[in-house]
Amino acid sequence: MASVPKDTLDKIRKIRHVVMDMDGTIYRGKVLFPTTKPFLALLEKYGITYTFLTNNSSRSRKVYLNHLKEFGIVVKEEQMYTSTVNTVQYLQKFHPDVKKLFMLGTPAFREEMVSYGFIDVGLDEEPEAVITAFDTGLVYERLCKSAWWIKHGKLWIATHPDLECPTELETTLVDCGSVTACLECVSKRKAIVLGKPNKEMITLILDRHGLRNDEVVMCGDRMYTDIQLAVNAQVYGVLISDLPHEKVPGNIATWTVPHLGVLGEWIREAHQ
């Protein structure tokens, strides 16, 4: 491994919390990256806490925790933060009276929203807001109804901006951002887009753990969500990329590494 600059090691030595994207960063679909478990073990060895952060709203937080458990990674509920949770907190803070939602999302997403006290309205009911999420079973009739209510001025929230979801399968998974773009085109309105890269996805973690910005690093494989989040929240950003730092177009990350194992080696060296 090439020598790590002293100023990098000085910054790494201050890190007390690591925030990690999931799909594309610690695993790809159903395949766990070989560097993930050793990296988590290293964090625990040096007393560095961590949180998993995902924009993918197609699954509930409970399902994500079980998914990690299948990989042999056991974490607490508060270590898993999703765009669904972000959406709930946004509604509770800024629109506490809104309860009736027309939702484009998976059954798991809609059930999780209901578990927080919201009402999942049907096609023939008038909602107080429209929520666009990652809907892997998208129904044309529901897409059209969403557009109708959006055009008629209902509060409209998209859980996250991702255009497609990473997958190991030979297909393209059209994500929330692409469906949102479709609805923006037909309605001539712009959605309130939550999730990464909105800085609240990290500032809540800072507040919860009593952390300074220079004590946190955000790791992810997407520039426009993960690394832009790091920039917006003014924390360090680590881009996971096979390309060297200077070869990544428009690179705004603090550092670029091919996998979390490299960051782990930096942490080990910083603490020696």
Please give the Cα distance from 125 to 130 (Å, whole number): 12
Q: How far apart are CA 143 and CA 123, in angstroms?
A: 10
Amino acid 2: pLDDT: 60
Q: Which two three-digit tokens encode residue 4?
A: 């790590």
**pLDDT digits over 136-171, tens only?**
999 999 999 999 999 999 999 999 999 998 787 899
HSE, CB side, 13 Å, CA atoms: give it for residue 212.
Answer: 5
Q: What pLDDT is recorded for position 1?
A: 53
pLDDT digits (tens, 9 = 90+) for 117-139: 999 999 999 999 999 999 999 99
Q: What DSSP character marks residue 171? A: S
Pairwise CA distance, residues 16 & 213, whole Å: 10
pTM: 0.84
Domains of the chain: 1-26+40-55+197-210+218-272 (3.40.50.1000), 84-193 (3.40.50.1000)
| pLDDT tens track for 199-218 | 988 988 898 899 999 999 99
In this prediction, the residues of the chain whose per-residue pLDDT falls under 70 are 1-2
Q: Which amino acid is at 199?
A: K
